[in-house]
Amino acid sequence: MKRIDLIGFAAGAIVAHPMRSALTSLGVVIGVAAVVMMTSIGLGAQQRVTSAIGGLGSNLLIVMPGASRGPGGGFVSQGAGSGMSLNEDDAKAIAEQIEGAVAVAPAVRGGAQLTAEGANWQTRVEGVTPDYLTARDLTIASGRMFDENEARQGRKVIVIGKTIATELFGEDSDPIGKRIRVGTAPFEVIGVLTPKGQSGFGQDQDDIVLGPLQAIRSRVVGRRVQGTNVQTIYVKGASADDLDRLQEDVTNLLRERHRIRQGAEDDFSVQNMASIMEAMQASVKTFTSLLAAVAAVSLVVGGVGIMNIMLVAVTERTREIGLRMAVGARRSDVLYQFALEAITLSVIGGIIGLAVGIGGGILMAKLGQWPVAIAGWSIPVSLGFSLLVGLVFGAYPSWRAARLDPIEALRRE
- Summarised one tens digit per residue, pLDDT across range 335-375 is 777 777 778 878 888 888 888 888 888 888 777 666 777 77
What string of DSSP letters covers 322-366? HHHHHTT--HHHHHHHHHHHHHHHHHHHHHHHHHHHHHHHHHHHH
Distance of CA 377 to the CA centre of its chain: 18
Alpha carbon distance 209, 223 (integer Å): 19
What digits encode the pLDDT tens for the residues 191-210?
Answer: 999 998 766 556 788 899 99
Across the range 292-310, mean pLDDT stands at 74
What is residue 144's predicted lDDT score, i.e. its pLDDT? 94
Confidence class of residue 83 from pLDDT cuts 50, 70 and 90?
Answer: low
The reported pLDDT for the residue numbered 91 is: 92
Task: Report which of 38, 15, 114, 45 is spatially closest to residue 298, judged by C-alpha positions.
Answer: 38
Q: How confident is the model at residue 93 (pLDDT cuts 50, 70, 90)?
A: very high
pLDDT of residue 78: 46
Distances (CA, A) of 342 to 13, 14, 28, 248: 11, 9, 12, 61
Q: Which of 155-159, 326-330, 338-342, 362-366 has the lowest mean pLDDT?
A: 326-330
Between 124 and 79, residue with greater pLDDT:
124
pLDDT digits over 208-238, tens only? 999 999 999 888 887 677 778 899 999 988 8
Query: Is residue 121 very low, low, confident or very high in pLDDT (cuts 50, 70, 90)?
Result: very high
Identify the band that residue 70 occupies on the pLDDT scale cut at 50, 70 and 90.
very low
- pTM attached to this predicted model: 0.62
Q: In sequence order, what E strands does 129-265 have? A: 140-143, 157-160, 179-182, 185-193, 208-212, 232-237
Q: Looking at residue 42, what is its pLDDT?
A: 76
Q: What are phi and psi of 192, to 5 degrees?
A: -125, 130
- Quick one: pLDDT at residue 405? 66
pLDDT recorded at residue 73: 45
Whole-angstrom distance, CA of residue 161 vs CA of residue 276: 27
Judge whether residue 3 has pLDDT over 80. no
